[in-house]
Amino acid sequence: MAGKSRFRSRRGKAVLAAALAAGLFLPLSTSTAVADTSYTETYRPQFHYSPARNWMNDPNGLVYYNGQYHLFYQYNPSGTTWGNMSWGHAVSTDLIHWSELPVAIPQDDADMIFSGSVVVDTNNTTGLGTTGNPAMVAIYTAANKTSGNQSQALAYSTDGGQTFTKYSGNPVLDIGSNNFRDPKVFWYAPGNEWLMTAALSDQQKVTFYSSPDLKQWTHLSDFGPAGATGGPWECPDLFPLPDPSDPTKQKWVLIVNLNPGGVAGGSGSQYFTGNFDGTWFTPDGLPTAGTPLGGFDAGNYDGWTAAGTAFGSAPVTGTLPGQMPVSGWTGAGYANSFNGGDAPTGTLSSPDFTINHGYLNFLVGGGNHPFVPGSVVGNGVPDGTTFADFEGTTYGTGWQAAGDFANTGPAQGTLANQNPVSGYIGSQLVNTFTNGDAPTGTITSPSFTLSQRFVNLQVGGGNHPWGSANPTAVNLVVDGQVVDTATGQDSEHLGWVSWDLNAYQGRTATIQIVDQNSGGWGHILADQIMLGDNPVSVAQDTSARLVVDGHVVRSATGQDSEHLDWTTWDLSDLQGKTGHIEIDDNNANTYGGSWAHILADQFSLSDTSVPAVLQRQHWVDFGKDDYAAVTYNDAPDGKRIMLGWMNNWDYGQSIPTSPWRSAMTVPKELSLSLVGGVPTLIQKPVDQLTQLHNGQTVSQQNVPIPAGTTGLAASGEALDITATFSPGTASSYGIKVRTGSGQETLIGYDNAAGQVYIDRTNSGNSSFASSFPGVQQAPLAPINGMLKLHVLVDWSSVEVFANDGQAVLTDQILPDPTSQGVAAFANGGTANLVSLTVNQMGSAW
């Protein structure tokens, strides 16, 4: 749960310290009585589980045993905000009607009880029950109140979950981390062992362990960082589903929750599909074999040429000194320009090759410093016309020198008693350090017509700007007036300067090099004056490039991450051409930044592309309010049932409900289907929800929807709606629910964007949080030109299952109880409501 990250952040530690000081963490009795309530308070969900009172977040310990679905959850028995974390408990025989039980596992003086799971130890591997009466064993995170350390612990029940006893040998797994939490455990039959999936939250990793008895654990592997990494990872869940490509086989699904970083902002839940072999989880979408161009696994660069110092003399086989841990490369070695830290620069270039496949796939990481077309690398010269390069015996034809510089010419680099001069092009430059800083004078160019947009030039030396006393400057003079100027930076290094000539096109100008200063840094350096159509850009990139015919035609950079991820270049327009790859580190960390290095590996030509892991990741829910999604162990008939916390850490503790705060999503049955050839998680509400249909049904077919809003013959606070639309000419269309008193919640489809969306900007009470109003959307392609919506409306929520559960959006809404209308709408044209069925829902309470 996101609340757990309080132990990680400075802000959270302050919250925890304040809570301790206030005495909020008190021992709690498991006999805490369930409060009486009629479950009819304003905003009280009627078919979503909510506790009678107080705060609730993550679902925990989802398990089916002896005819009952057990729902444990993060619970504060003493208040309506996060704190006192214990395990609440409710049971149901049908996933719809719930009975709340006393607190199952209370916090104690030492630890709060964070998220985890429950298994039924049928074979009595723990010895905590018997084969005739197996123990229900909870595996949870014990969060130490003093140190913040998070370890994994056990509690067990031999009375069907009515009471739990904490195991005397706790903790059973402790790695000394404040960010190791949320164990999801299940029996892995192929290995005849227990498998644990847990989060290394601050590393954005999922870690896997195995055990014969739930007490002794062996580390297997880690997965990540991958997919969305905008916040700490939490509450992972790994499980198999029938492979949609071959239902006789299994495809594995890994759910990972994170906060912040969700697709709609705040907390969210993502998933990966792939394979699990008992040790490693391998995500789908890795590249197929092709023609290798460089894998860096032979202990040398294997024909690639290294220049500069950044890449060293051979590939790297691990993390370099001073570098954060690197992950994601494959094989023995990879290219890493962190040799000596971020300051060194250099290039690693491949041999030439013929482009004879459609794609080039490779791994890249490191700094996010993209290649800028036209940028100057090292001693390179920008595009344009050379006006003066000072490589002759004089300053150049028509140049005039006056004062102490009369009869002088260009300098061959550093002069006597001068610190080393660098950055100039060629072997000569203008250097007014003639006989030291004392000489003064001017060096003036011949007149020329300003016919190109920019003057690009190199300038160094003293920092005495034009307009100050005793300047050292290079000036652009038009009609006798200085219209642009540059000075040095008290440095013997020449840097590039660009002057924009747009306002002076067609006019006559001269360039004037002025040294009127005899004191410290009383000299000016100048070189390589160019006229061009673009300003000069000095390369600061950390990038991989494809170079064809001397031009960079493709480039990629890292994402300020030490994790290497796949990227692809489409080469369809370059077939038959000859090219080479350059891995460039032109960023010397000159300006005190960071990530001035690049990582790269496994370059290969292929006939298939591979999307980056960030693109391969999918979202469980595209709405704002589905977090900590986990699935049931041992559900009947092999079904995979999932629940989530219907809230968001952005505003969860401010939701204006009383005497409770938070609810669960409806239970959803999961499957996999191929959507656009990609294995996609399909979710549908459990069939048992239809038990709550109260017999009040409205059905309509083929209703034309003109531009605007069309009222429908249905209303209610709690509804089960199915609707099918064809688009007509409308740019967007759909239905409105909980309308009235200026309030409405829109569930629609945007044709241009190809997205289904929920718009809750006018859904009711939203004054408690600026991030609550808004629009959430999910990419979705119509099926045979049709949009199918299944919408569950409760007193304070909307859940949308679009196109048979291909995309799901869950949002809380807080309308007035009197806002009960239902309507259809179309924007920018017409639509057709092919069919509509609205069932009013009775209360599960």
Out of 131-135, 229-233, 284-288, the most confident range is 131-135
Give, as one character, the DSSP assignment of residue 323: P
As a whole number, mean pLDDT of residues 407-421 equals 95
As beta bridge partners, residue 253 has: 239, 273
In the predicted structure, residue 337 carries a pLDDT above the cut 60: yes
Q: How far apart are the first and last CA of the chain?
A: 27
Q: What is the pLDDT of residue 13?
A: 30
Q: Is the pTM of this model over 0.75?
A: no
Q: What is the pLDDT of residue 14?
A: 30
With residue 13 as reference, give the H or E element that holds it: helix 10-21
As beta bridge partners, residue 604 has: 292, 361
| Contact yes or no for 191/277 (Cβ under 8 A) | no
Give residue 121's Cα distance to chain centre.
Answer: 37
pLDDT-based confidence at 534, cuts 50/70/90?
confident
User: What letter represents residue 751's amino acid?
Assistant: N
pLDDT digits (tens, 9 = 90+) for 656-702: 999 999 999 999 999 999 998 889 999 999 999 999 999 999 999 99
pLDDT-based confidence at 611, cuts 50/70/90?
low
pLDDT-based confidence at 423, cuts 50/70/90?
confident
Asked which of 99-108, 432-441, 500-509, 530-539 is least confident by mean pLDDT, the reply is 530-539
pLDDT digits (tens, 9 = 90+) for 459-511: 999 999 999 999 999 999 999 999 999 999 999 988 889 999 999 999 999 99
pLDDT digits (tens, 9 = 90+) for 802-839: 999 999 999 999 999 999 999 999 999 999 999 999 99
As a whole number, mean pLDDT of residues 776-780 equals 94
Read off φ and ψ for residue 545, nearest 5 degrees: -130, 145
Helices (H) and strands (E) in the chain, counts: 2, 59
As a whole number, mean pLDDT of residues 201-230 equals 92
pLDDT digits (tens, 9 = 90+) for 149-186: 999 999 999 999 999 999 999 999 999 999 999 999 99
| Cα torsion through 201, 206, 208, 213, rounded to 10 | 50
Helix (H, G, I), strand (E, B) or coil at 438: coil
* Residue in the structure block whose two tokens are 């916040």: 231
User: What letter represents residue 69's amino acid?
Assistant: Y
User: Which tokens hold the place of 680?
Assistant: 């996609």
Distances (CA, A) of 510 to 484, 488, 610: 11, 20, 54
In the predicted structure, residue 268 carries a pLDDT above the cut 50: yes
CA-based nearest residue to 676, from 540, 554, 745, 779: 779
Q: What is the pLDDT of residue 22?
A: 34
Q: What is the pLDDT of residue 373?
A: 75
Q: What is the DSSP string of 426-484?
A: TT-BEE--TTSS---EEEEPPPEE--SSEEEEEEEE--B-BTBSS-EEEEEEETTEEEE
In terms of pLDDT, which residue wins out, 445 or 535?
445
* Residue in the structure block whose two tokens are 């979950």: 161
* Residue in the structure block whose two tokens are 């903790």: 171
Helix (H, G, I), strand (E, B) or coil at 690: helix
With residue 582 as reference, give the H or E element that holds it: strand 578-585
User: Which tokens hold the place of 466?
Assistant: 């034009």
Q: Which position among 36, 58, 109, 637 bears the catalytic label?
A: 58
User: Which tokens hold the place of 524?
Assistant: 């000016």
**Percent of the chain beyond pLDDT 70?**
93
Catalytic residue flag (residue 58): yes
Those residues whose C-beta lies under 8 Å from the C-beta of residue 397, and which sit 6 or more positions away, are 446
**Percent of the chain beyond pLDDT 90?**
81
Mean pLDDT score across all residues of the chain: 91
pLDDT-based confidence at 630, cuts 50/70/90?
very high
pLDDT digits (tens, 9 = 90+) for 558-600: 888 888 888 899 999 999 999 999 999 988 875 445 789 999 9
